[in-house]
Amino acid sequence: MQLFQFLQVIFFSVSILTLVGIGVIILSRAVSTVSTVDRRIFMVVFIPLLLANTLALFDGEGFFFNWRTWLILGADLVLIIAILWFSHGFQVYGLDPDTVTHVMSETLRQQGYTVETNAAQKHDIWGRSRDACILTAHKGDNEYPVWIVNRFNEVSIRTKQRGDARILHPVVTALHQQKVPYDFKDHAAGLLYIVLAVVLAVLSWIFFFEPRLILIE
């Protein structure tokens, strides 16, 4: 039982420290005034939490299996697959979407792509729509659509297909080379991630670990 609790502490700690790290990356101007976050890092936030949730099915003697257990395991598996599928692309802080689109277009043209852009509407899972831009890069018979979406001083760039995300790596390098005046409000989302880390730490202690410690005592 103590081993499983120790593993759960590790999983929660990884998620909390990752959120803090994301916040520091966004706020920091150590590299340049433009911050980028690889969306794959969110797998390091959510997957440990789901693993910790699975370990909670252990009751001290073994895993107990009933329909609720299988429901939890099924939900965890679906969420892990969804996170792995959707966690690609980058988030940019410190530049407006028009500048990001321009830098991306010029960089891809230098890489030998033909580029065209079109205005669009992007709908999220809650049904809300946002103004967006679809940048389509062509090379030979292949085309690579990239969504550029602005939300709350955060510009999200994401390829339609997960495997196409490799074309964005030169773009990220070019974005880091942009020198613009540092404006805190463009990086304020970093504070949100740090606050989320603190909230997660407090809630984890109050609702997950403290009741178990009381039971052990």
- Tens digit of pLDDT at every position of the chain (217 positions): 577 778 888 888 999 999 999 888 888 764 456 778 888 888 888 888 888 877 777 655 555 667 777 787 888 888 888 887 777 888 888 888 888 999 999 999 999 899 998 888 776 666 667 778 899 999 888 899 999 988 877 888 988 888 888 888 899 888 888 877 777 777 888 888 999 999 988 888 776 665 554 444 4
Element (H, E) at 54: helix 43-55
| Residue 102, burial from CB neighbour count under 10 angstroms (0-12, 13-18, 19+) | middle
Q: What is the pLDDT of residue 17?
A: 93
What does R_g of the chain's alpha carbons equal in angstroms?
A: 21
Q: What is the pLDDT of residue 216?
A: 44
Domain spanning 95-176 has what CATH number?
3.10.450
In the sheet that holds 90-93, the strands lie side by side as: 35-38, 90-93, 154-159, 142-151, 129-139, 114-123
Q: What is the pLDDT of residue 6?
A: 81
Amino acid at 165: A
| Residue 214, burial from CB neighbour count under 10 angstroms (0-12, 13-18, 19+) | exposed
Report how far residue 205's alpha carbon sits from residue 217's, in angstroms, rounded to the nearest whole number: 16
Could you tell me the pTM of the whole model? 0.76
Report how far residue 209's alpha carbon sits from residue 172's, in angstroms, rounded to the nearest whole number: 40
Domain ranges of the chain: 2-88+184-216, 95-176
In the structure encoding, which two tokens stand for residue 186, read together? 């463009």
In the structure encoding, which two tokens stand for residue 166, read together? 């490799």
Report how far residue 70's alpha carbon sits from residue 64's, in angstroms, rounded to the nearest whole number: 10
Q: What is the pLDDT of residue 25?
A: 85
Judge whether 143 and 136 are in contact, CB under 8 Å: yes
